[in-house]
């Protein structure tokens, strides 16, 4: 009998063993447990395998791909697609810089703007709070649709082809403002605000020194979702950015999907290849997938570190405060 310790909810901790509940009367039978396990193994594989295909193709030899199609077991490994992209790095670097800047600036700005709006409408002593809550909420119910929205940004405020157009439309999400408001209203004791006021703190000071530090969990959740929204956005680029403007990574991937030649728009890469006396033959299929891998990389990285906070944030939001 090895050393075991039993935790409060019947978890058995054996040194060197997985965390496993002891079979309790209401547990499912071993055979159903096995079936559920097998099912989920298969489903998890289905969630990961498609990504693997793209990664494997990007490391395959172009000729082998042209002969046998995309395959999980390429006949020849090859990194020439990445070498090609390295020669043509400028376009990718530009796009990555646009994506990074828009994501960082957009996330910080939108968190700030939304929190600044959510705090007043969370204060029960603010007489106009219901009006402003509705002013925010109504945008969830009715929207003007693509056409007038497009005309406002192109013909009234003239933001077409600027970086600002990639940031502004996603700045305020009514849903997140409501989430922040609920959090501020339910978790920060009004007495705390009262006493700070008595001590002579200004509203802004209360907001910065008391509200924000106490709301880190919800700010982190909203911040993560906004980061994801900015990084993954291609729609705004599709509509407002001309192909020779500030394209971001997602848009570059979209263009590469339709036409790999879009990547080779840079004359210097062509010149570099020509100077080496290389006959210009673009490894189209593998380069396309290599471009995808470069675009997917950061998000998979973020996913592997932060997915548990996303899941926690969702569950916190789902349980009524």
Instruction: Enumerate residues 270-289 that contact another protein by CB under 8 A.
Output: 285, 288-289
Query: d(Cα 273, Cα 283) in Å, to the nearest integer?
Result: 13
Pairing of strands 11-13, 20-21: antiparallel
Query: d(Cα 251, Cα 262) in Å, to the nearest integer?
Result: 11
Shortest Å distance, C-beta 54 to another protein: 6
Shortest Å distance, C-beta 277 to another protein: 29
**In terms of CB distance, is 37 or 261 closer to another protein?**
37
Using CB under 8 A as the binding rule, whether residue 239 contacts another protein is answered as yes
Q: What is the dihedral of CA 160, 166, 172, 174, to 10 degrees?
A: 90
CA distances (Å), 315 to each of 44, 87, 175, 191, 311, in order? 21, 45, 16, 28, 6
Output phi, psi for 5, to 5 deg. -125, 140
Among candidates 132, 259, 120, which has minimal Cα distance to 181?
120
Shortest Å distance, C-beta 129 to another protein: 9
Give the binding-site size for another protein (rule: CB under 8 A): 120
Shortest Å distance, C-beta 319 to another protein: 6
Query: d(Cα 249, Cα 98) in Å, to the nearest integer?
Result: 8
Residue 166 contacts residue 248 (beta carbons within 8 Å): yes
Site for another protein in 14-73 (CB under 8 A): 18-21, 23, 25-28, 32-33, 36-37, 39-41, 43-44, 46-48, 50-51, 53-54, 57, 65-66, 68-72
Length of the chain: 321
Using CB under 8 A as the binding rule, whether residue 111 contacts another protein is answered as no
Using CB under 8 A as the binding rule, whether residue 142 contacts another protein is answered as yes
Using CB under 8 A as the binding rule, whether residue 317 contacts another protein is answered as yes
Distance of CA 118 to the CA centre of its chain: 23
Per CB under 8 A, the list member of 133, 193, 263, 269 interacting with another protein is: 133
Using CB under 8 A as the binding rule, whether residue 254 contacts another protein is answered as yes
Query: d(Cα 277, Cα 7) in Å, to the nearest integer?
Result: 70
Per CB under 8 A, the list member of 149, 187, 192, 278 interacting with another protein is: 149
Q: Which stretch binds another protein (CB under 8 A): 74-82, 88-96, 154-162, 270-278?
A: 154-162
Shortest Å distance, C-beta 312 to another protein: 9
Shortest Å distance, C-beta 183 to another protein: 10
Q: Which stretch binds another protein (CB under 8 A): 87-95, 259-267, 269-277, 290-298?
A: 290-298
Site for another protein in 159-218 (CB under 8 A): 168-169, 171-173, 175, 177-179, 182, 185, 202-204, 207
Buried b / exposed e over 185-201, threshold 16 CB at 10 Å, is beebeeeebeebeeeeb
Per CB under 8 A, the list member of 127, 200, 267, 277 interacting with another protein is: 127
CB atoms within 10 A of CB 207: 17
**In terms of CB distance, is 101 or 175 closer to another protein?**
175
Distance of CA 70 to the CA centre of its chain: 28
**In terms of CB distance, is 246 or 273 closer to another protein?**
246
Shortest Å distance, C-beta 275 to another protein: 31
């Amino acid at each position: 009998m090895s050393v075991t310790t039993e935790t409060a909810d019947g978890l058995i901790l054996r040194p060197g063993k997985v965390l496993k509940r002891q079979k309790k009367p209401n547990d499912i039978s071993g055979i159903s447990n096995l079936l559920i396990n097998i099912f989920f193994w298969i489903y998890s594989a289905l969630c990961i395998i498609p990504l693997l295909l793209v990664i494997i193709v990007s490391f395959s030899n172009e000729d082998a791909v042209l002969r046998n199609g995309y395959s999980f077991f390429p006949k020849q490994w090859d990194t020439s697609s990445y070498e090609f992209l390295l020669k043509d790095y400028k376009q990718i670097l530009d796009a990555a810089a646009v994506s990074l800047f828009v994501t960082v600036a957009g996330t910080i700005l939108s968190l700030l703007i939304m929190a600044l709006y959510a705090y007043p409408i969370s204060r029960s002593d603010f007489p106009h709070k219901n009006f402003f809550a509705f002013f925010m909420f109504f945008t969830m119910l009715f929207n003007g649709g693509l056409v007038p929205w497009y005309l406002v940004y192109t013909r009234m405020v003239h933001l077409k082809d600027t970086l600002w157009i990639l940031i502004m439309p996603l700045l305020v999400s009514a849903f997140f403002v409501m989430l922040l408001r609920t959090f501020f209203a339910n978790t920060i004791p009004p007495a705390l605000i009262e006493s700070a006021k008595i001590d002579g703190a200004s509203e802004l000071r209360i907001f910065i020194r008391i509200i924000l530090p106490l709301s880190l969990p919800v700010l982190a959740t909203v911040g993560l979702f906004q980061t994801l929204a900015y990084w993954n956005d291609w729609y705004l680029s599709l509509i407002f950015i001309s192909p020779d403007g500030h394209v971001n990574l997602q848009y570059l991937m979209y263009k590469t999907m339709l036409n790999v030649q879009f990547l080779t728009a840079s004359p210097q890469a062509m010149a570099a290849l020509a100077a080496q006396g290389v006959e210009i033959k673009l490894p189209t299929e593998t380069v396309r997938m290599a471009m995808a891998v470069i675009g997917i990389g950061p998000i998979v990285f973020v996913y592997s570190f932060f997915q548990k906070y996303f899941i926690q944030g969702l569950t916190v939001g789902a349980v009524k405060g």
